[in-house]
Amino acid sequence: MKKVLLTGATGFIARFAVPFLLQRGYEVHAVFHNRKPISGSVAHLFWHQCDLLNKAEQKKLFELLRVTHFLHFAWNVDHETYLVSPANELWQVASFEMLKNFRQGGGQRAVLAGTCFEYDLTFGGRLKEGAALKPASLYGASKVRLHEEMEDYAAQEKLSCAWGRIFFLYGPHERSTRFVPGLINSFLKGETARCRHGHLLRDFLYVEDVASAFVALLDSPVCGAVNIGSGISRSLGGIARDIACRFSKDGTTWLTVDHLPTHDPLSIVADVTRLKSEVGWSPSVDWTEGMAKTIAWWKQRLKECKNESTDQAKN
């Protein structure tokens, strides 16, 4: 049986990768740092606690498991600091160390998560994997360096590796301060929402599809960088209006869309030719269904939070 080590397994993307890996016949070894998810026993799914930034701990884990596949998502993803945090450099070093430990344990195939922020985003067109790289943040620069290290090491060791560059995503379990959940929560609470840069164009993909794409990439022979996106350009203002329409008939009652000046790139959209033609993957969840699922999840989450507050007040 194929054995995969999945890092960041309780995170936004990797939690959705687990069922796809199981469906494809993997024995899944999922890594968590602080708290193990509350779940019943699942066949071929095993949880391991590990501080991956600890060199000795991660080495011991790879030596113990001797997995055949490696799917790596773990990184510093704090919304407020991830672009500039010094932790990016720590994760770059630790991630390359993991790749080496994986190979030394007999590993055969690895896929690591990259980002669209590696690209020169002043380009403005649809971004292909061969487009110029010019990261404007420590986050993007650290990912570029890790990708370069991965490619050099893979060539030296004859290791099959791929690099999935994530664009934008949305769905259940996202941080509440992010763009889509921020709008949804405002509408659910009857508050006025504001989209400040409605003219910006972005490429959003439902999180479950992002996870599915990574698992398909892992299970393929495709090497090198592969964009993980929808290939569809959507304006932030259009997204905000679409969400607003699901809460009010005219879609404008609680929403203000501005086009304020910004230094952010006008367009960040993926060319997904490699993903579709070489990996053979396409999305399963369209925008309408994905947004309906996301709103339903946040409605339930808000209800649970209210019930928890009520219970605490009674006690």
Residue 239 lies in a domain: no
- Model confidence at 307, pLDDT cuts 50, 70, 90, reads low
Mean pLDDT of 109-137: 95
Phi/psi of residue 262, each to 5°?
-155, 155
Minimal CA–CA distance to 95: which of 115, 79, 75? 75
Residue 244 lies in a domain: no
Strand, helix or coil for residue 125? coil
Q: How many domains does the chain have?
A: 1
Amino acid of residue 163: W
So what's the pLDDT on residue 311?
46
Residue 211 lies in a domain: yes
229-247 pLDDT, tens digit per residue, is 999 999 999 999 999 999 8
Mean pLDDT of 115-144: 95
DSSP code, position 100 = H
Mean pLDDT of 178-199: 93
- Can you read off the two tokens belonging to residue 263? 């230094």
H or E element at residue 70: strand 69-72
Mean pLDDT of 100-129: 96
| Torsion sign (Cα): 48, 53, 57, 62 | positive
Residue 31 lies in a domain: yes
Task: Give the distance, in angstroms, between the CA of residue 300 and the centroid of all CA atoms in the same chain.
Answer: 22
Task: To the nearest 10°, report the CA torsion of 25, 26, 27, 30.
Answer: -140
Its domain, for residue 32, covers 2-174+203-233+267-284
- Model confidence at 159, pLDDT cuts 50, 70, 90, reads very high
What is the average pLDDT score of the chain? 93
Residue 246 lies in a domain: no
Task: Give the distance, in angstroms, between the CA of residue 69 and the centroid of all CA atoms in the same chain.
Answer: 19
Structural contact between residues 168 and 202, judged by C-beta atoms closer than 8 angstroms: yes
Alpha-carbon Rg for the chain, nearest whole angstrom, is 20
So what's the pLDDT on residue 231?
98
42-84 pLDDT, tens digit per residue, is 999 999 999 999 999 999 999 999 999 999 999 998 878 999 9
Q: CB burial class (10 A; 0-12, 13-18, 19+) of residue 16?
A: buried
Residue 44 lies in a domain: yes
Q: Is pLDDT of 146 > 80?
A: yes
Residue 222 lies in a domain: yes
Structural contact between residues 265 and 165, judged by C-beta atoms closer than 8 angstroms: no
How much of the chain, in percent, has pLDDT values that exceed 70?
A: 94
The CATH number of whichever domain residue 20 belongs to comes to 3.40.50.720
Task: Give the distance, in angstroms, between the CA of residue 81 and the centroid of all CA atoms in the same chain.
Answer: 16
Residue 111 lies in a domain: yes
